[in-house]
């Protein structure tokens, strides 16, 4: 398979979409995805993608931006730019209420220093 032949590791996380009335993304799965993103290095790159590359990917990237200290306005602008006409307000609400852990904050600072 392509990943093995290229020396890449493949991982699949099941991130549920944010849909009315009772389904939302699992914060723990988003946290796991953030750990993977923060572990990426130039010699160990990461491709982050969902089925269409908009909503679930947008939630992970939005939570990453929040962790990086972005304010909500540019986070939502970036989300809307890639979601196009398919913006999910519940995704934006998820990002708004997401709280990165102390461990994520420490890892993000370390990652930023190493870049």
Catalytic residues: 50
Q: Tokens 């730019």 appear where?
A: 81
Burial of 87 (0-12, 13-18, 19+ CB in 10 A): middle
* HSE-up (13 A, CA, CB side) for residue 1: 5
């Amino acid at each position: 398979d392509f990943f093995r032949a290229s020396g890449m590791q493949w991982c699949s996380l099941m991130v549920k979409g944010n849909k009315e009335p009772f389904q939302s993304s699992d914060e723990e799965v988003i946290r796991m995805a953030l750990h993977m993103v923060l572990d990426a290095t130039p010699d160990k790159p990461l491709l982050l993608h969902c089925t269409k590359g908009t909503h679930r990917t947008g939630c992970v990237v939005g939570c990453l931006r929040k962790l990086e200290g972005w304010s909500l306005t540019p986070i939502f602008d970036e989300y809307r730019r890639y979601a196009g006409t398919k913006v999910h307000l519940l995704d934006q609400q998820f990002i708004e209420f997401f709280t990165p852990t102390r461990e994520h904050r420490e890892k993000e600072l370390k990652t930023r220093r190493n870049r």
